[in-house]
Structure 1
Amino acid sequence: MKLTGREKSELFFEGVVTVILLLLLNLSIVVLINSTIAHNPGLQSGIFQIKRSITIGPNNYQLWSYENIFIGLMLIADGFVLYWRLIRRYKQMQLRHIISELHYIAAGHFDHRIDFNLTGDTQRVVESVNALVDSAIHSMDEEREIERSKDALITNVSHDIRTPLTSIIGYLGLIENKQYQSEEDLIKYAHIAYLKATQMKSLVEDLFEYTKSRQTETPLAINRLNLTAMLEQLAASFELEANKKHLKIEVESGTQPIYIEADAEKLGRVFSNLITNAFKYGTGAKNVVLQAEQRGEEVVIHVTNDGQRIPAESLGRLFERFYRVEESRSKATGGSGLGLAIAQSIVDHHGGYIYAQSDDEQTSFVIHLPVKHDHPLTKKQSDMIN
């Protein structure tokens, strides 16, 4: 920290004033002591005896003089006082500079940091202030991101609801105004309106489920469950739909059942979303495989299909809300865009993590879950290389 010319002058005058005051104090003390000794013969005799008893060398050279010793001690004390006064004033100037920097930051210069290199507690104050500013800026950025996220959520939900709602109103309007030629047209219009209403209901349910999954304070119903049996039941429940799409769905989990601690309902929603996702977007797929294996204190589950590859630039965005790979956005397959975001939130809430891998041979959604719910996992970057 550099001192200004005015501050240097302040330090200089502080030193001069302190020296003058100390000299006056020393002179007053010397006068008082000499006056006391002069009026006390016994004290004079005692000092004389002490002076004679302290000698140096074979010639009994007398070095001691109470005046010299007293003056020496007073000079040492004066030096400490002068040093203390100057250091105290210097630290006050440092504090003044720190306060000035804080006012500068508070005025809106949030990218500014105090770059003083000080010592002791003052340096710790500077580091604490910088850390506090960093934390405040981070919190402000998070709040802005949350606001942007809310705005995007409202925009996307409004768009996805408005589209089917427009169709519903349009076809019901045709029915209301009797603008149909036959009963077949009436049934057709009502059926289309019903399908669009069902699409809206699915979006609202997904949005509600996503909101619930994001609320980390909502407790999970943790129980010990047989993961192998769950995957087999899910495969059986999707078998009819798989046959309609000319797909084969199967489970691979070894001969021994795998047990984990988890919320069965929430975890079932994750696998259902991933299987549904494979059915909708696994263009050209013939097989969907649910594979589970235990690796020490974690369980790894793959939901794999052998369909069209997901572009590399889309893999990192699959779990964003409302994100869809552009090639898959169609009236036939376009869902709410919340399925994978819901899956990620639930897996995170269980202390695990999820990611996607895709190549020309197959696309896999990989889930890592802890065997014990109270032992959350740490993401391994080596596992997540696509």
Structure 2
Amino acid sequence: MTSVCAQLCLRGRSSVCSKAVTSTWTCYAQVRRTTTRVPFTRENHTTAQGRLRWKQQMRYCSDLTAKYLTTEAKEDNDKEKLSTTDVIVHKSPLLPTKDALPPTENQMPFDLDAATQLSALEEISDEEALSIFPPSAIPPASTSLRDYVDSSETLSKLVQLGVNLWKLEQMPNVGSMLLRLDFNTDVAPRLLFLKEIGVEDSHLGYIITRNPFILTEDLNNLRARVNYLKSKMFSSETVASMVSRAPFLLNFSVKRLDNRLGFYQQQLSLSASNTRNIVARLPRLLCGSLEPVKENLKVCEIEFGFKKNEIQHIAIAVPKVLTANKRKLTQIFDYLHNTMKVPHYLITKFPQVLNSKYLRLRERHLFLEYLGKAQYDPTLPNYISLDRLVSLPDETFCTELASATLEDFYMFQKTL
């Protein structure tokens, strides 16, 4: 009986020891797996949070190992007592409880936020201090400039001026360009320059929205271009008006501006006064391409059959004809000359008709023709001026030219 009890005691002790060792190595393996997520490297331990997590895990592993060793010794004593009294008591195997399991990264037994705050009291080296960077308030990348308005003084001030950032976003590389600009050193001096030449505050937002690149132009170049225009007898008010209506005007060099003025003066055989007149009324003539202008001049002379002096008169009266869409211009002239039977001299006399809407011209002519009043010859009675035909509003056209009601005109439009 004594030998049987001794064997049972030895077997129980072996089982307890093996389970204790197994549980200890299981705990160690779990700690290793947990710490694998945060490797013990120089880089991770430059942060206070990483050091605190590592110390907590090592302390926990040491405490758990000591706990199992103490339990093992206690079990050995109990087994020795059982062997002397020949009493066998069944004890459950030694298993770690739920609380004894090592915590995961999401179930750490301490508050990381609190640990981070407490770690600020710990003394760190200069190298570790240099490696800590505060989170940036500016997004590293974005598809919209509105994400940077609160953190960028330049963008916030531009918004206050009335600049439409959503339009600037559609221009390549403009967003990054604006973020690199300093308001005090880059933007403010150019805004003050525009104010000096007479541009109103309400036009600043429009100019920058259409031409943000003016903020990167050299101030000396801007002054030189304004001085050149004034040397060509453009008044200060005219220059300010031209810059407000053609924001890209000051982006072109003095040489280019001079070449553009010389082109219009030579091609149209204009005097200096008439050249200033058409450019002041349509300043984008100095900014846009010359190819559409050259093409329209050839169309008016070759296809339409206008004489050079007639083209000159049309250009002085309606400068928009020079930059008009070729298809639209051809469509209106064809309807005037071939359908309405209007001669060249009348079109030259009322060149505004070339700048009108084709649909309005067609509807009103057909309505007058339906009423028997489509008469455009000034030498005949009941003459209707081409200028009034396209410029009057519908109600005035019906009462003064067609002698009909507005409802009759609308009903006729539904039949077209």
| TM-score (normalizing by structure 1) | 0.27
**Could you say which structure has the higher helix fraction?**
2
**Greater RCO structure (CA 8 Å; 6+ sep):** 1
TM-score of the superposition, structure 2-length normalised?
0.26
Query: Counting strand residues as a fraction of each chain, which structure ranks higher?
Result: 1
